Every structure is written in structure tokens, then in C-alpha cells.
Structure 1
Amino acid sequence: MVIALQRPLFQDGNSGIVDSLQIQSILQELIHQMIRVRVSISKDPVLYEAYIIGIETKHPPPRLFLKWRGTETSLKSCSPVVVSFVFNSHAYFFEIRVIEPAAGCFSLSFPEVLESYPPRALPRLQYPLAVPISIEFPDPWAYRGKLVRELDDIGYDGLSYRTSPEDRPPASGLLISRIDLFLFDQPCYSTSAKVLYVRPCSDFQGKRFHRVGAVFQERERPPLQGGVFFKENECEEIIIPSKIKICLRKLTAYKAPAYLQDAAQKRPVLYAVPEEMERQDLSLLSFRIEESRSSRARFAVGRLIRVHYIMDETLYLFLSSVCRSETRRIILKIPERMIQIRRRKTLRCIPPQGEEIRIHFKNPLLDQDMVRPVLDLSETGLSISLDLNRNFLFAGMRIHDALLNLNGRPYPLPRILIQSVKTIRPHRGRLCCRIGISFEYLPDETRQAVLDILRHERHPFQVESGEHLIPGLWSLHYQSGFIYPEKHDSIMEMKKEIDRTWKRLYSEGSQFFINFALVHDEKVLGSGSILQVYEETWLLQHLSALKHPLMNTGKEINLGLAEELFRNHEIHYIKTYFRPDNPWPNKNFRAFAEEHLKPQEYDLTRYRLYHRHAGPIPTAWGLPAGVEVGLLRNPEQEMIRNYFAMTGKALYARSESLFGHGLDLMETSRLYRMSGLRRNRRIFAVRRGQEVLCFSVAEDTSVGVNLSGLLNHFRIYIVSRDREIVDQVLPFLVNEALSFYRSFGYSKVTLMTFEPLDAILNEWGFSYIRDYYCLTYCRQSIFQYQHYVREKYGKLECRMLRMVKYSHEGAAHQAPNQ
């Protein structure tokens, strides 16, 4: 018989307890510990709070005695009820019937089955809370009003609170823009939340209220309880076949990218996409290999393959043998075990031997100075250990004016927050407390010092280039093929000017230029740089690397640049140029954009490049009546904005500051002038009355900032559809740009355009050189690119060491069975 009641909303994976003695033992603990239960009654929307006060098993039938108020009129004999509770981090519920209702005390039938659910994926603190936590948020029904409520329970994914009798409950789905959490009446966390449900309830005394559940909108988790952010055991082994198949079905359903590698040989990692599992044979798993150079890879039957993928911020790893290998397709057996490793949001490192890192702060409760060595360090915080008897710190406590000592030099930490407190037992040691500390504010000097340590620890061969590395960079660009014969000829014509520019770029420590180099045995093996070219846009350029038997130089350079792009919050857009026949950027940048980004999150434009001497174009006629040429005027910016919106290039226009206050790149030009360099831009327009017919964007930059000359060019954009009038005025527009370049001493100019102007440009003396792709990402795409690079190149934080260890042990363990 099925009872139509509101069951608790738990996760799938329940298991029933049918042993009556075990059920009785659990219920006796509820009585002994006075643990509150919740009761749901058929055809009654209210959820009641109650306590189990006794169990009668001597006289049949066995029964339970519950005590609560407020339901005497609605509860009758044989009424079905559902009782739910949480005990030892497990959720339980059972369905029973009322035997005898009484005033405030009810006898119910003894449950035959007690259904149990596993612990929640995210811990939750339940009422009554060990420490007083209250929330403050705007009143949804009153303008400028605020409400303060005590929490009912709270977890890392959401919270619930009780309304007052006079409150009007919020509507389900309402977005609360700001919720402030207070611990001991001190603010400890702010976030936004969305109302998930509103349910009428009744407490043990019979007072009615509404229970409001809200889920946090941010990914960050509030600091509630120790042991979540700083875990000791991060690896969990999955050996139950049903759970393994659930994980793999989820992998195939979401098409999460997987990475395959021969476990016995050092072959490159294959980028693959899982296919649907065959229903007829649930013991096989199929992958479609996506990389073109690896599409012909074949694996012998029985060969052991290492597979890892990331889903829900968790790394999954397993070893499996090949069942069948086809072109661009590989079929594996379902593994016997999997390892899941929870990923951290920020990379952390253990201080290397020989480096002394300590934190100095004053305990506000003891009024004592404390100096402790740092166990691990990250961009957002650190952890320390304290003797169990000396620990008087709790999660949520704020400490001011601390110091971080890095190799004998103190750096200020104005505000830090105790994030977690966990009791651990080190190897062969006594119990101690591991304290997780987060940085609430870091001065620029402290942040840079921490980043320098982390950068060197994550990429030990990676250093920032200085003036002394310039000869090595020239050698690298020639040996890697970055400078090909045509580019060599143009560089030699201006070698002296380029050398002067490079000395300023690499030695001044400018705010608009960051370069990375991989140096091994005093030889530069790889290099890359990012450069501010517009008000909010940086250019990724000069990527080159040499092969080396001891390291993947391209991987290290890409990882370092991705980290810097994400860490530098001044970068709102990133832009890069590459030739269509260059395989590496096509496979890395273009493939990422087309496979992982939405169309509105990136812009890919193919330009044609033309060269010409800087002399004016002869014109046999004058401008048509009513047409004039000059600098773009402010009122005409709206026409330019509409043009890019209609052509689907709004992101491209924003990245190049083509409207607003950045038309002349005043702030960017100022940064260049501070380093003795120049960066200028002029926008010329041809107008007829209030209409802009066409316009050009001319850019000038010091020679050598970009070796391909991609920052010293002008572009043409045709707005009017009247091609007859446009053909008449285009020579005058081009002459304005040529005059701009002659004023800076140019003898040759470069034109980039995606417009079909080949015939007319040939008449004017322009010669076609080559095509270039221009790829632009927005800020959100930069975050996704950082995540993509970490997964693509296997630098999965510090867990790679564990992966290697597991791979060797797993291969030895599973190879005989495969």
C-alpha cells in the first residue's frame, strides 16, 4: 500500500533497515539525545516538529510515543504519517499509522522499515546551532526595510530560516540580492540567494511559522565549519560496480571531455569525447578521439589505458583495457575501480625546503602574539597548525594587522579570516588543530610576493624575462621558426629600433607588458608575452617554444600565461593573431573557442593583409558634393556602434574601444609614454551630412613591440550600402590614413581588411601578403580558457603527483587481470 505523503527531499541511493533491533537502537538514541523529528501528515501541508518520548515493545503490537502539539483536530486513528530525522549525518524516514491520538501525545505503530540515506554531499549545521548565526537581508515587501532572522539550518549550498508570525513569507523563486551572515553578532559572510521553497511548519509548542529555504547563487562557500576547505584525505576510491556505472553514465550524458593516455608508454594525451554506452553491453565504454593528429592512433587489444576527466569540480581517474580500436574511436572495458579527487578552486603549494614562511598575528581572545610556520600557501589563504590545548580560534573570527614573513621579510596582512578549524593527527604525532586562514584583503606588495612564490613552485623553470635574456629570445625565435625568411627581411631593416624598444620593454618593468620565459641550463626554451593594446584589452603574442626531452615547454608557457590572464583583473578582453596555416594556435585557441564557447563570448575574424608605400593615392576627381573627410566626431559614435551591432561584431568593437571615451586610447598611450614608447590611434570618417559612409582605424606603435607589425596597420570599414558613392570616396579615406603614417616617418604601410576590396586595392598599388585570424575573448571566456588549459595539459594542481602514483600502482595491480 502506497501512502500519498510528502517525503523528504533526499538524494537518490537510499537503503532500507529492516532489522527491528537496529531500528529500536536508533530510536532509543533519539530519545536519549532528545533529537527533534519532523512529522508530515496526509492532506496537511504543515510540517510538525516532535520528539519521540518512548517505545513499547513488551505488549503487541509494538508502538512509538510521539509528543507534539497543534494537530488534535486533524489527526485521527489510522491516519498515515511520515516521520523524518537526521542522526549521525544520515537522513532517515519511515511511514507509519496513528494507533491512538491523545492530547499532545500520540501512539503510533512501530516502523517495519527505516529508510536510510547517505550523508549529504555538502555538510549542514542544523538547529539548534552550536554558535549563534543570524542573517540580515532586505525585506521583499517593504522599500528600504531590512529583516533580521535566526537561522534554522545552514550548509555550504544554502540556508533556511523561520519567519515571524507577523511576517509575510516570500514567494518561491524570489532572488535576495544580498544576505549578510553574522556570527556572534559580527559580520562574517555576504552572498546572494534564491528562495527555493516556502513551507508552513509548526514547532514543538504548536506555534505556526513558515520555513524558507534558499540556495546560494555564488560558487563560493560560507565559512561555517572546519575540515571542508583543508582536507587531508582528498582521494576516494569507488569500487561498487553500480556506482561506477552511474559515474560513467553521467560522463556520457554530459559529454564531458576526457583525456586518454597509454599507461605503459609515454604517448601524447588524446583529447576524446565519450559516446553513449551500448545498452546491449553495459560493460563497454566508447570514446571518439577528436584531435586530428591523433585520429589515426590505434591501440592493441588488451593495452592498458589511463583515462581522466573532470566533472562538477571533481577529477575522476581510472585504468581500463582496450576492447576494440577503430579510426578515431576506441572502446574500453568498464573499469573495476575509479578514483575521484576533489579539486580546489585555487592552486596551493607546500613551502619548499629552505624557504621560511611564517605568519605573525595576535590572538584577540588571549591577547597573545602568535608566530606559526605556514603549512601550505595559496593566492587566497594559507593553513597553520596549533597545539590542541592552545587553540582558541574559531571559524568566522577576523584578525587584523597580521604579518606574513617570507624569507625574513615581513609583508602586511591587514585582514584575515579564520576559515576552518579541524582536529587532525599527523603521522606518528599527537592531536593538533589545523587552521585554515583566508586573506580578506592583500596589499599589492604582499600579493606580488605570494604570487612570485607560487609561480616558481608551480612552474620551476619559468621566470620573468629581463634585459639579460634578450639574446636568448632572439635565438629562440629563429630556432623555433617564429621568425621565417620574410619576417627576417623586414626585421633586419629596423633591427636597431627594435633593440631599443626591447630594452625598454624588458627592463623597465612596465605596467602594460608581461613576458614569460622558460630557461634551462642558461638557454631560453620557450617564451610568450601579453601586452595591453587597448583600454581594457591585452594582446597575447610572440609564443614560441623548442622541444626538450625533460619537459613540455609549450605546456609550461601556456599554463603560465593562462594563470596570468585570469589573475590580472584589469584584463577584460584578450586578443591574439595567428596565421590560418599555423597548426598550434588553430588547435589550441580556435578549437577552444568553437568547442567550448557560445558565439557571443568570442569573435573570430579573418583579415587579408596588404602592403604599400606610404605615398598618397592619386585621385582624378574631388570629393562629391556634400561629402567631407575628417576625424570621427563624438555624435557619430552611435552610428559606429549600430554598424558593429548589425554586423555581429559588438564584442570585437568593445574590445578595441571603438566607442566611448577610449577612441584615442589616452590611458593606454600614457602607459607607453611612461616607458619611452608610443601607441597612437586615429579614426577617420567619410560623412555625408549626418551619415557616415565609411571609416578607417589607423594605429601606430613603436617598432618592435609586435614583430609582425600587427599593431602598425589601418583597417577600413564600409557602412553605406551605396557602393557607387563608397568607391568614389574610399581613396580620400585611405589618403587620410597614409598622411597619418607619413607624419611618423613611415615609408611602408599595412592595411588589414575583411571587406572584398582586392580589385580596387590592386589598382592603388597594394600588394597582398597573407591572411591572419584575429580571435577575441571576453573576461568570462578567459576564466573558461584557464580551466581548459589546466585540463588540456594535465596540470591538475598538486594532484598530478597522486595521479602518477596511482597510475603506477594501478597498472601493477590491474594489468594481470586485464
Structure 2
Amino acid sequence: MMGENVLRHDPYSEWLWDWPFENKEILNDPKHVRPIDQQDIVNKLNQLHFTGDAFQIFFQDIHTQEKMLLRAKIKFCTETTVACSFSDKTDSAFNNRTHQLTHLAIDDGKNLALMPTFLISQENKHFVIHLPDAGYEVNQRQIRRHLCRGAVHVALLQDAQISRGLLLEFSSFDCRVRIKSSMEFRFSKDAPICISFYHGMELCHSCLCYSIRETVNPHRDDREIVLKFVQNSNPIAPNKRQFRNPRLRFSPAPSADFLHPLLQKRFHFEIADISSAGFSVCENEEESVFMEGMAIPDLRIQFSDLFSLQCSAKTVYCRLENNHIVRCGFSISDMDMPNYNRLQKMLNHALDGNVYLNNRMDMDVLWDFFFKINFIYPKKYLHMKSIKNDIKKTYQLLYQGDKEVACHLTYQKNNFLCGHLSMVRAYEKTWLIHHHAAKVTDNKPVGFLLVKHILHYFIDMHRLPSLNTDFLMAYFRPDNKFPERVFGGFCRNQADPGICSMDLWGYFEKLLPTIYSPLNTEWSLRSADTADLNLLSDFYQKTSGGLLLKAMDLDKTDLDRQPLESVYEQLGLFRKLKKFSLCYNGEPYAILLLDLSNSGLNMSDLLNNIKVIILKTKLVPWKILTNALSQLMHRYRTGQIPVLIYPFDYIIMQKIPCKKQYAIWICKASHFYRLAVHMQERYRITYWN
């Protein structure tokens, strides 16, 4: 446990102990110095008094000439004197009869301010020293080493030996730590050390380093070690892929605000460029505080005074550019849906000023668009007209701002709507792309443009755990040219059902029966259990090998209510998935999946239907199946219930008239970028680079 046996007391008191002084050439022959006057000295001392930090005093043994370094705190300061006090643990280290004070020093992590001084008076641990008229400042480090104000503990591992201690100073190139020196083990300078940083019980960072200086305290059982980090010892290699969302520059630039995990100090950096995957900032090499692989659990991206986005991030790279500027790239590790939608609104609209994400819609404009372009054609409206009020209510909820389970994209010029595409979180980790409607405007293929922006929206979602996006799904009829060419062509081009799969289903509309038809005594209908779903998985893998069961979350053994249902409930919406087995003498012959949702969540009610997967295609009579369906239809609130049946071979074998078919297309979200490659190669629809 990092919190045990590791310097439990106040970390500030650690700075008050005395240590042998090793860097003697600073006092004897200072280089790169500049003079500082008394006012500068007093201001620095007053600041230390205000912050409660310590300053340093150099002294030497009169007889041995050994130089020592002592830290003390200020009680008050005048123009000519400084009243100070040692800690209880260090006052015995200084004796004015055997030791002589030589210099007062203030170390800001990069420069060392030095002032010659002498002792005026001393009473026990309290003393007064002379403040000179002038001093000088030595540039002792190229990179500032920052004082660590929080209780960040370290664990050092070398040759199976572990030492634990406290982080005292940190820069992006090195650090200084204090550990217990009671162990006989000494760190070798020739072998790497694995250092891990902890804040409380949380691991902040881990990397390799080398010991470059180790100092033992002669008065205490402690030692200090200066460690130099191995650069690129913890690199994060981004996944190599042909297409990435473009990094955009905004004016005024957004900023990144966060608490540094090792320094426990707040930082504010201007963001140079940003995308849905991450962003970059630039810092001065002399003040650099970032390391590759360092995680920042709580970071805010601030867009002026408009809004801020909360996320977690990780440093991917730190690259030295011209004029000693270090560009640091960050990947966004996680972000919730409201924050992700706000970020995507900015990015999508910046890429194309006619594209809007989740804008508040005038519903009359939307309905007018759907009817004018024949998206709601006469036969579809026959299905919709009896539930039109429910559909209006559902859409009023969905289209008034951001929702965790739904989003929509529109292409419009002022109030003139040219294209629409929406998505809904249909299952626990699956989003359904639907309601794609567009017309050519100004010779622009709006339908393709909306698909390109959907790519932009989804291409990074799978990396963010809070967004629950493992799969993307679409329903389309094979005679619908656009989705068949784009989505269907992509699936055939991949030729790998583990990346993208497409299954053909028969589609029927069943009227809600007035009476229920009983099953024969050999047949029964019951809730599906784990064993039934395992049979379903085996059958589906043999017949398709696709992604449907994973996308519907049917491959898991937990049959309890899914959290997605409660998310819908909180938004005033309804969503359930029920599973039943049609059995013959207790053996499952078919699995019936009841998708239940608000009317119109999908206009074709493809999220408010019954999906039937026939396990024994030769042994399930059509009449038995329709009788079983009649016993389940009372769970729906509409007069006509869509029924989809798989495999389609069953419909052919049973010689059932089927006027309509649907393809269920599913793609792994981590491979969705491949669709951008396909669109560019096949249709010359270029992605942003």
C-alpha cells in the first residue's frame, strides 16, 4: 500500500531538513549569472512567506570546511534582515560556534538566487540573518524543476528491489525523490529504474528512469535521489489507419484546464488544434511539465465563455519544434455523451456551415420535408396514421436538444431543409442509423455528405467507454439503391462478417388478433433462458457468422434488465427487449425477440417489432409460428405489428408469400473508418485530411 510506511507527516516539513551540499561550483565560480537588487530579494522572500514555502541557507563546518544545505521558514523580513526558524528536527544540525553561514538561496526550480549573508543572532531554533544590498541569480537548469505541493508518493523498482518514498521536485526530464535509506540496497546508475507515481491509492504515471545522483542524509535515515527519465519510455503508438478526423483550429482558441497529477497544481494551456480524438497544446521547453503516457483524469476544454467540456485525457507525444517549443498531443480517453455532442456540434459545423448536429428543430419544417421528398410515402403513412399523435409526441422529445439515446444531423440553408439523418441507441452498445433522407442541392450529393458527417461523428466513439458504442446498425430494403450500394457494397467489399455483416430477413405486418390461437399440446412458448440463447448463438454462427447477436447484446449470460431501459425512462421514453423460446416437447425450435419502444422511434417500427429466428427450419409449421405470434402481440400498442423472420430460407421452404425484405447491416464501430475508405475508392467522396 502506497500510503503505509512512507513519510506520513506534512510534506512541507520534508523541505526543512539539512543535506550535504554537492554542487559547490555554483558558489565558487558561478556562470550565467545576472545581478538582482535588494527589492527583488525582499519580494522573493515575501512571496515565500505568503505561500509558506522554505528558502535555503548554505553553511560550512569551520574545521572540516564541509558545506551543508539547510532549509528554513521565514517569520518576517525587513530591508536589511530576515527572521527565520529551523524545524525541530534540524536546529541541532547548526551550531554557530562550529558552523558559519555563507549564503542565502532561493530556488524556483530553474534559477537559483544567491545572496551573501552572515548570522546576526540566534536563540535556539530561531535566528536572524543579514540581508545584503544585492545578490545574483544563477541559471542552474535548462528545464525548470517544479516543487511538488501535494502528497505524491513514488515506488522505485530495480532488480526486484522496491523502495518507496515521496516526490519532491518534478520536470518533464527529471525528478527528485526522497526515500528511506535504511535498506542496504543501492540503485545502480547503469541499470534502468521503473518509477511509479501515486496520489493516494491512484496510479498517476509509470515510466523508466536512471539514477544520476544519490545523497544520503547523515543526520536522518533518509536519502534523496535525482532521477532522469528515459525519453519515449512509455510511448502511446496511435492505431495506424488511413483516415482520421481532421484537427481544426478555432479563433479564439479553446483552452485546456486541469490539475497536474504529479504537481497537484492547476495549469491552463491554449489548445492549438482539436478533433473528436484529441488535441494538442504547445509549451515552452524550459517550463515543460508533460510526459508521454501521463494520464489526466479530469480535464476541461473551455471554448471562450460559451461552454466547457469535461473529459479525461492522456499524453500521446511530446515533440520539440522550432524556437524551443514543445508540441504535446493528447488523446481523449473518455467523455460522456452530453460533452461529446457539444464537441461534435462545434467540429461538424466548422467543417461545413450547413451541417447541424442536434439543433432544435421546427417540427413543421421536418414533417414538410419528409412528405415532400416522399420519405413518408403513401403505404408508410397507412401504417403511421393511426398512431400519428404518438409519433408527434416521440419526435417532440427527440428533436429538442441533446439526448443520450438519440441524435440527428441536418443539412440546411437558413430554414430550408435539404437533408436529414438520425441515430438512436437501439441496444446497450449499438447505435441504429436510420431516417436518411436527402435531395441534391446546389449540385451537392447531400446524402453522401450526411453519411460523411456520420462517419465523423462515430469514428472515435468506440474509444470512449462512457459512450457504449461497439456496433453500428442499419436496416434497409435491398431494392433501396442508396443504402444497398453504400452499406451493402461496403459489406461485400470487406468480405469479413467479423467486421461487417448483413443478414436478409423476411418482413410481414401482422394485425393484432382479437383472440389468441392456442398451440398444440406438444408446442409451448416460454421465456428464453441461457441454454436457449447458447443454442441460438451456435445456430447463428453456422448460418451467418455475423454480428447480430453481439449487437443486440444477446451473447451475454446476464438476462436481467439492461441499464439502457432506465436511460430511456429518464427521458420519458420506452425501450425493452424480451426473449421467448418456441419449443417442441421442451426443445427450442425458434427464438422470438420482442423489440418494444415508443411508436415512431423508428418510422417503420423496426424497433417495435418481433424478430423470429428459426432454429429448425424444416420442423416449424407456419401455422404453429403464427399461433405463437398471436400470443405475444398483445404486448404492443399498435394495430399492426412488423414481424421479421430469419433465415429467409425458411420462408422459401414454407412457400410463404413475402412481398418485402429487409437487410440488417451491422459494422464494428472500431472498423467504421473503413467505410470512409470505401466511399473514397468507390464513389470519390473524399474524407477530410
- TM bracket, shorter-chain basis: 0.5 to 0.7
Paired residue for 1:374, among 242, 251, 271?
271
Equivalent in the alignment of 1:593: 491
- The alpha-carbon distance between structure 1 residues 684 and 735, as it changes in their structure 2 partners (threshold 3 A), is farther
Q: CA deviation at 1:686?
A: 2.8
Paired residue for 1:573, among 471, 479, 488?
471
Paired residue for 2:327, among 435, 441, 448?
435
One-letter amino acid of the counterpart of residue 652, structure 1: L
For structure 2, the residue ranges without an aligned partner over 5 or more in a row are 1-142, 144-154, 163-189, 192-204, 210-226, 463-467
> Which fold has the larger relative contact order, with Cα–Cα distance below 8 Å and residues 6 or more apart in sequence?
2
- Quick check: 1:681–1:698 contact (8 Å CA) kept in 2? yes
Equivalent in the alignment of 1:419: 317
One-letter amino acid of the counterpart of residue 495, structure 1: K
- Quick check: 1:362–1:399 contact (8 Å CA) kept in 2? no
Mapping for residues 171-250 of structure 1, pairs under 5 Å: 181-182=207-208, 219-220=237-238
Equivalent in the alignment of 2:582: 686
**Identical pairs, percent:** 16
Indicate the SS of the match to 2:393. helix
Equivalent in the alignment of 1:648: 544
User: Residue by residue, what CA displacement relative to the aligned partner does 1:568-613 show, whole Å, maximum 9, x if unpaired?
Assistant: 2312122111111211111110111111342332322222222232
Indicate the SS of the match to 2:320. strand
Indicate the SS of the match to 1:494. helix
Indicate the SS of the match to 1:507. coil
- The alpha-carbon distance between structure 1 residues 350 and 770, as it changes in their structure 2 partners (threshold 3 A), is same
Q: CA deviation at 1:790?
A: 6.5
Paired residue for 1:407, among 304, 316, 327?
304
Across the aligned residues of Structure 1 and Structure 2, the Cα RMSD in angstroms comes to 4.4
Q: CA deviation at 1:364?
A: 11
Q: CA deviation at 1:749?
A: 2.4
Paired residue for 1:748, among 619, 622, 640?
640
Equivalent in the alignment of 2:389: 496
User: Residue by residue, what CA displacement relative to the aligned partner does 1:748-790 show, whole Å, maximum 9, x if unpaired?
Assistant: 222222243369686xxxx744222221222343242355456
Equivalent in the alignment of 1:610: 508
Equivalent in the alignment of 1:457: 350
Indicate the SS of the match to 2:607. coil
Equivalent in the alignment of 1:478: 371
Q: Distance in 2 between matches of 1:750 and 1:415?
A: 44
Q: Distance in 2 between matches of 1:529 and 1:145?
A: 57
- Quick check: 2:348–2:357 contact (8 Å CA) kept in 1? no
Indicate the SS of the match to 1:645. helix
- The alpha-carbon distance between structure 1 residues 391 and 664, as it changes in their structure 2 partners (threshold 3 A), is closer
- Quick check: 2:359–2:401 contact (8 Å CA) kept in 1? no
Mapping for residues 311-350 of structure 1, pairs under 5 Å: 345-350=244-249
Mapping for residues 780-795 of structure 1, pairs under 5 Å: 780-789=670-679, 794-795=685-686
**Is 2:422 the counterpart of 1:529?**
yes
Q: Distance in 2 between matches of 1:678 and 1:693?
A: 30
Q: Distance in 2 between matches of 1:677 and 1:394?
A: 45
- Quick check: 1:558–1:789 contact (8 Å CA) kept in 2? no
**Is 2:446 the counterpart of 1:553?**
yes
- Quick check: 2:354–2:413 contact (8 Å CA) kept in 1? yes
- The alpha-carbon distance between structure 1 residues 187 and 378, as it changes in their structure 2 partners (threshold 3 A), is farther
One-letter amino acid of the counterpart of residue 182, structure 1: L
- Quick check: 1:611–1:768 contact (8 Å CA) kept in 2? no
User: Residue by residue, what CA displacement relative to the aligned partner does 1:672-710 show, whole Å, maximum 9, x if unpaired?
Assistant: 222222223333323244521233223222111111122
Paired residue for 2:610, among 689, 714, 733?
714
Q: Distance in 2 between matches of 1:180 and 1:575?
A: 39
Mapping for residues 502-513 of structure 1, pairs under 5 Å: 502-507=395-400, 509-513=402-406
Equivalent in the alignment of 2:409: 516
Indicate the SS of the match to 1:712. coil
- The alpha-carbon distance between structure 1 residues 696 and 313, as it changes in their structure 2 partners (threshold 3 A), is closer
Q: Distance in 1 between matches of 2:443 and 2:482?
A: 21
- Quick check: 2:508–2:658 contact (8 Å CA) kept in 1? yes
- Quick check: 1:360–1:371 contact (8 Å CA) kept in 2? yes
Indicate the SS of the match to 1:420. strand
One-letter amino acid of the counterpart of residue 716, structure 1: V
One-letter amino acid of the counterpart of residue 580, structure 1: P
- Quick check: 1:348–1:377 contact (8 Å CA) kept in 2? yes
Indicate the SS of the match to 1:350. coil
Deviates more, 1:503-512 or 1:581-590: 503-512
- The alpha-carbon distance between structure 1 residues 575 and 412, as it changes in their structure 2 partners (threshold 3 A), is closer
Q: CA deviation at 1:382?
A: 3.6
Q: Distance in 2 between matches of 1:572 and 1:402?
A: 25
- Quick check: 2:258–2:268 contact (8 Å CA) kept in 1? yes
One-letter amino acid of the counterpart of residue 742, structure 1: H
Q: Distance in 2 between matches of 1:647 and 1:535?
A: 24
- Quick check: 2:425–2:431 contact (8 Å CA) kept in 1? yes
Indicate the SS of the match to 1:720. coil
One-letter amino acid of the counterpart of residue 274, structure 2: L
- The alpha-carbon distance between structure 1 residues 522 and 529, as it changes in their structure 2 partners (threshold 3 A), is same
Paired residue for 1:757, among 645, 651, 657?
651
Q: Distance in 1 between matches of 2:545 and 2:364?
A: 40
Q: CA deviation at 1:558?
A: 0.8
- The alpha-carbon distance between structure 1 residues 693 and 452, as it changes in their structure 2 partners (threshold 3 A), is closer
Equivalent in the alignment of 1:30: none
**Is 2:630 the counterpart of 1:738?**
yes
Q: Distance in 2 between matches of 1:719 and 1:399?
A: 48
Q: Distance in 1 between matches of 2:669 and 2:655?
A: 36
**Is 2:596 the counterpart of 1:700?**
yes
User: Residue by residue, what CA displacement relative to the aligned partner does 1:131-155 show, whole Å, maximum 9, x if unpaired?
Assistant: xxxxx9999xx9x999xxxxxxxxx
User: Residue by residue, what CA displacement relative to the aligned partner does 1:219-255 show, whole Å, maximum 9, x if unpaired?
Assistant: 528xxxxxxxxxxxxxxxxxxxxxxxxxxxxxxxxxx
TM norm structure 1: 0.50
- Quick check: 2:608–2:642 contact (8 Å CA) kept in 1? yes
Q: CA deviation at 1:524?
A: 1.6
- The alpha-carbon distance between structure 1 residues 528 and 636, as it changes in their structure 2 partners (threshold 3 A), is same
Q: CA deviation at 1:491?
A: 2.3
- The alpha-carbon distance between structure 1 residues 395 and 794, as it changes in their structure 2 partners (threshold 3 A), is farther
- The alpha-carbon distance between structure 1 residues 220 and 414, as it changes in their structure 2 partners (threshold 3 A), is closer
- Quick check: 1:180–1:190 contact (8 Å CA) kept in 2? no
Count of paired positions: 472
One-letter amino acid of the counterpart of residue 535, structure 1: E
